[in-house]
Structure 1
C-alpha cells in the first residue's frame, strides 16, 4: 500500500470551504486506485491564527511541514484582520522561500464546458514557468527621507543560477509538450536585468537544439495572450512577469476560481507546495458558492508531481465532463453550490473508474 503524507493548510476564507471538498475528491481517487492512501495532517495557520498568536505560523512551522511529501494550501489573506503583506510573507512566501520552491508552474487551457471571454480561443493550452525566488520580488531595497523627499528603492535581483534553473525547467517541460519555449522579456526598456535574462535564455537554448524558441517583450506577450494564446506552449518568465501573465491566463479561461498553481522544489530537499491561484474571496465566504475547481485542479498537479499522473489525468477529464454537463458555480455561469459540483466530480470519477 502506497501512502502519501500531505500537509493541509486550508488558510482563510473560501480556502476552508473548498479544501474539505477537494480532500473528498482525493480520497475517492485513492479508493479507485486501491493501493493508495493519503494521510493528511491539517494545520490551522491563517489570519485568525495570527490574531491569536501574533504570527502566521509557529517558529517551527517549516520543520513540521518538512515531514510531508507535499504541502496543500487553500487560500491566504483577510485584509480586514491582517494586512496582506503580513499574511502573505508570513505564510505563503515563508514556505516558498524556506523550502526553496524556486519554480512556480501555472497552466492555462480552454476548459470544456466553460465559455472563455475570448471570441475565438482556439483551444489554447499553455503553461507559464515562473522564476519563484528572486527577480522583482526580492527583499533588497528600502526607504529614506520623509515628506516630499521620501524615497523608496526596490531592487530586482537576477542571478545566473536562479535564471538558468527556471529556463532549464521550462525546456524540459517543453520536451513533453509541443516543443516551443517563449521567453518573456523587456530588454528594450529594462537595461540591465532583461538583457541578462535574454543572454541566459540564449545560452540555455543551445543545450536544447530540438526545442523552438522565441523572445517576446512582456507588453506584446500580454497582448498575445488575449489575441492568439493558442500559438503559445511553454512560457518562461521572471517572478513579476510570470505573476501577471498567469492572472491573464486565468482570466481568458473564464474565471480565476478554476486556476491551479504549483510551487516546485527541484533539489529534493523539501516538499513542494500546491495552491489555487484564487484568493480567500471574503465577499462570498459562507454562501456555499465558492468554485472548488481551482483547488481540485491544483490537487491534479499535486498528483502529477507525486508520480500519480494517471489519476491526475482521470481527475481533469472528469472535471471537464462535469462542466460540459452544466454543473457549475455562479462565477462561471452556473447555479450549483460548492458541494454539488464536488459531488458530481466524485460521481463522474466513479463512473469512469
Structure 2
C-alpha cells in the first residue's frame, strides 16, 4: 500500500470550502482505486492566523512542511489586509522557500462546458502553460524611499538569471516533447525589455538545440494574448515569465469557461522539496461562506498532485469523474451556468468515482 502524506492549507476565503471538498474526493478515490492511501494534515495558516499571531504562518512553517509528500493549497487574500502581506507571507513564501520554480497550468474546455469564444469546435483547445515561478517580475527585489513625500520612489526590479531561465526552458521543452503536437511557444517582450527578455530569448534558442523533436516559436506577450483568442487551435505548450504567464493563464481559464475550473501545480521537479497544488481562482470573499464555490479547479489540481505522486491511474479516474459531471450538466455551479452548490458538485464527482448516479 502506497501512503501519501498531504499538508492541507485551505488559507483564506473559499479555500476553506474547496480544499475540504477535494480531500473528500481524494478519500473516495483512494477507497475506490485501492493501492494507495491519503493522510491529510490540516494547517490553519492564512489571514485569520495573521490576526491572531501577527504572521501568516509560523516562523518554522517550511520546516514543518518539508517532510510531507505534497501540499494542497486553497487560496490567499483578505479584503481587510494588504495583498502583498498575505501573498508574500504565505503562498510565495512556500513557493520560493521550496524552490517550486515550475508552475504548470493545463487548460482545456471540459466536456459539456461552453467557451465564450464564438464558433469554437467541440474539442476546443488543449493547452499547457508553463510559468517561471521563482524569479522574473515576482522576484521581490526593490524598495521604497522617501515615503509620503512628493519625491517618493518605488522600484520593482525583474530578475532573470541564466540558471533560472535555463531550467524553466528545459522543463517547458521537455513538457512539449512529451505532448502529441510537440509544439512550444516561447512568450517574450524582448522588443521593449532589451536585457532580461533578450537573455530569455537567447537561452530559449540554446535549449531548443537539446530538443530537436520540438517545433518552437517566439511570440510577444501582447500578440500571444490576441492569438489565444483569435487562433486558439494554434497554441499547445507555452512558456512565459512569472508575470506574463500569470496573466495569460487567467485569460486561458476564462476562455475555457471559468477560472473556477482552472488548476495549477507549483512544482519542484528535482523533488528536493514538496510541491504545492492549488486552484487558480482567488479567495473570492464575495461568495465566502455561501457554500456555492466551484470546487472543480481544486479537484483538477488534486489530479495534478496525484500524477506528481506517481498515481497516474487514480489521476485519470478523477479527471474522468469530473468530465462525466460536466458532460451530464445536471450538477454544475453557478459560474458554469448551473445552480448546484459546492456540496452537490462534490457529491456528484464522488458518485462518478464510485460508479453510481448522483
Q: Structure 1 stretch 148-157 or stretch 193-202: which is displaced more?
A: 148-157
TM-score (norm 1): 0.97
Q: Does 1:224 align with 2:227?
A: yes
Structure 1 residue 210: Cα displacement = 1.0
Q: What residue is the counterpart of 2:161 in the other structure?
A: 159
TM-score (norm 2): 0.96
Q: What residue is the counterpart of 2:7 in the other structure?
A: 7
Structure 1 residue 321: Cα displacement = 1.2
Distance, in Å, in 2 between the alignment partners of 1:339 and 1:280 is: 18
Q: What residue is the counterpart of 2:18 in the other structure?
A: 18
Q: Does 1:243 align with 2:246?
A: yes
Q: What residue is the counterpart of 1:348 in the other structure?
A: 352
Q: What residue is the counterpart of 1:126 in the other structure?
A: 127
Distance, in Å, in 1 between the alignment partners of 2:143 and 2:12 is: 30
Structure 1 residue 120: Cα displacement = 2.7
Q: Deviations over 1:145-204 (max 9, x none)?
A: 453322222111100110011111111111221201100011111111111111000000
Contact 2:79–2:285, Cα closer than 8 Å, also in 1: no
Q: What residue is the counterpart of 1:328 in the other structure?
A: 332
Determine helix, strand or coil for the equivalent of 1:57.
Answer: coil
Q: How many residues align?
A: 351
Q: Tell me, which stretches of 5 or more residues in structure 2 are unaligned?
A: none
Q: What residue is the counterpart of 1:68 in the other structure?
A: 68
Query: Which residue among 170, 176, 194 is the counterpart of 2:172?
Result: 170
Distance, in Å, in 2 between the alignment partners of 1:267 and 1:35 is: 25
Q: Tell me, which stretches of 5 or more residues in structure 1 are unaligned?
A: none
RMSD of aligned Cα (Å): 1.1
Distance, in Å, in 2 between the alignment partners of 1:143 and 1:14 is: 33
Q: Does 1:200 align with 2:203?
A: yes
Determine helix, strand or coil for the equivalent of 1:5.
Answer: strand
Determine helix, strand or coil for the equivalent of 1:284.
Answer: coil
Determine helix, strand or coil for the equivalent of 1:282.
Answer: coil
Structure 1 residue 20: Cα displacement = 1.2
Q: What residue is the counterpart of 1:85 in the other structure?
A: 84
Distance, in Å, in 1 between the alignment partners of 2:29 and 2:170 is: 32
Distance, in Å, in 2 between the alignment partners of 1:59 and 1:147 is: 34
Q: What residue is the counterpart of 1:106 in the other structure?
A: 105
Structure 1 residue 88: Cα displacement = 0.6
Contact 1:121–1:230, Cα closer than 8 Å, also in 2: no
